[in-house]
Structures are given as structure tokens and as C-alpha cells.
Amino acid sequence: MPIKIQKDLPAKAILESENIFVMDEDRALSQDIRPLEILILNLMPIKEDTETQLLRALSNTPLQVDCTFLMMSTHVSKNTSRSHLNKFYVCFQDIKKMRYDGMIITGAPVENLEFTDVNYWKELEMIMEWSKTHVTSTMHICWGAQAGLYYHYGIPKYPRQEKLSGIYKHRVLNRKIPLVRSFNDTFMAPHSRFTEVRREDIEKHPELVIVAESDEAGIFLVMSRDGKHIFVQGHPEYDRMTLNNEYHRDLGKGMNPIIPCHYYPDDDPNETPILSWRNTGNTLYSNWLNFYVYQITPYLLEAED
């Protein structure tokens, strides 16, 4: 089934070129099917890239998905045009009386700041509190996962000695959890972060379960036992070239970044990276939409008066 997006969103042409079934508003209105309403809080700096990545991941399901992009009103994006934001994004004040089947909170390049030093932290706290009563299930990604674990459970993040960047092997810890249905025993997934959360802090909360982890990269997948909160410390939605672009961006800034691990053939940045995580990412998002959103959400999403 298709993913429903606005007619002129730049991601539409990219997804159609990849043979992904995309439906615009006019065609969707002719179908007597209630789509899943998914709110995406996009905190990443290059928003068009993240839009395409997430829409691609959400498209691999038999369910019709209607995505709304949310931006922070207390933060001015430096890397995405104001015209793009005005056309394709809403602010929290616009949707705070609405209810959504699912929500995604992305990562953000603010890991080296304390949570309370992030200039939009108060607004993010307000949105995460609102999500408890207005969203069936929320998926938090990378820094978004760390922020969610901190806000909802008081779990801190810790700085790493060097940036974790690359494609790492993970293992599933409990195959009976629907979130990892159809996963292999071990799987690959991207990470790109300067901070981490630790097992011992998560284990203090019996309402949380660690679903997957890596010997090299640490905790990857955590969820609340009721499925209302999913925390993904990596970036399963990343494209083949995303880590490459980050690496060369940092090289250009004179930051002397490490070469992403297990990414380039023979660790040669001039080679094309091998795509080894796409199926895992697609399966993760499909399982979330099916088991923790579609199977649980009410048929009628009633807005507040």
C-alpha cells in the first residue's frame, strides 16, 4: 500500500524513481480507507534528506500512511529554507488538539549539549508530555531516543571518547517481541553519535525492556513493555551514502573524523559503501506500524474541542 504525502514534497519524485508507491492527497481522498496518521518531528538539520529516508522506511507496509511533518517554533533551522518549512511543516500550536496513531522524533546534532541547554528543550518536553495522551505509540531515534529516555525515565546520556560512526552487528535478545518479528538473530545497523545510554541505567526500570544490542555499539533498541515508547539508538533509516556524506562534511570542516567502521570496502572512503541494513530498517518500521500502532490505535481519532 502507498504512503500519502503532499503533492510537491521533494521526496515524492525521489521515492517514485525508486518504484515506491506514493499517493498524493487527491487520489487518497477517493479511497474509503482510514490511513494511519503519523506525526514526524524532524529535528535533523538537512530536513529533506530525513523526510525521504523516513518516508521510504514507512512505505514498506500494506497500511496506508498519512504523514504530517512537525517543526519547532522555538528554533530556526539553518539548513532548510523557510519556504520549505512554511509549505510542508506545521508547528505544535497547529496540531496540539489533534490525536495521532504514531509519532517519530528524530535525532538532532545537539548531543554534546546537556538536554536543558538545547534551545528548544522546553518545547520538546511539552511535545513529549502531550504525546502521552495524544499518540498511540512514539518512536524515538538516536538523540531523540536519548532525550525520550531522559524525559520519561530520567535515564542520563554519557559522552563517548570518540564518535561512534559506522555499521555494527547487533543481536536480538528476545525474538518473541513483535517489534523484531522476522529479524535475523544478528543484524547490521548504522550508528552516528557522540553519546550513549547504558544498560545498567535502563535495567533500573522494570517497565523497559532491552530488545537488541551490540558488543561494539552498545544498546540499540529499547521499548516500554506496553509498546507506547520505542527507543532506537541508531539510524536504521539512513541511506547508503548518509554516513559517507557526514564523513566528508566533517573532513571539509577540518574535524579529522574517523572513517566509519565496517562501512567502506577495505575501509577505503573512495569506494561505494555496501548497503547491509535496508531490510532490517524496513522490517523495524513495518513491525512498529503494524503491532504497536495499527493493532492498538482506535479507529476514530477524535480531536479536542
Q: Which residues are catalytic?
A: 142, 235, 237
- Is residue 41 within 8 Å of 105, Cβ to Cβ? yes
- Is residue 124 within 8 Å of 147, Cβ to Cβ? yes
Cα gap 164→6, rounded to integer Å: 35
CA 265 vs CA 199, 240, 243: distances in Å: 32, 13, 14
The residues, any chain, with a CB within 8 Å of residue 42's CB and separated by 6 or more, are 50, 51, 54, 69, 70, 71, 89, 106
Which bin fits 170, alpha (ψ -120 to 50), beta or left (φ > 0)?
beta
Pairing of strands 158-172, 186-196: antiparallel
Which bin fits 64, alpha (ψ -120 to 50), beta or left (φ > 0)?
beta
**Three-class DSSP category at 38:** strand
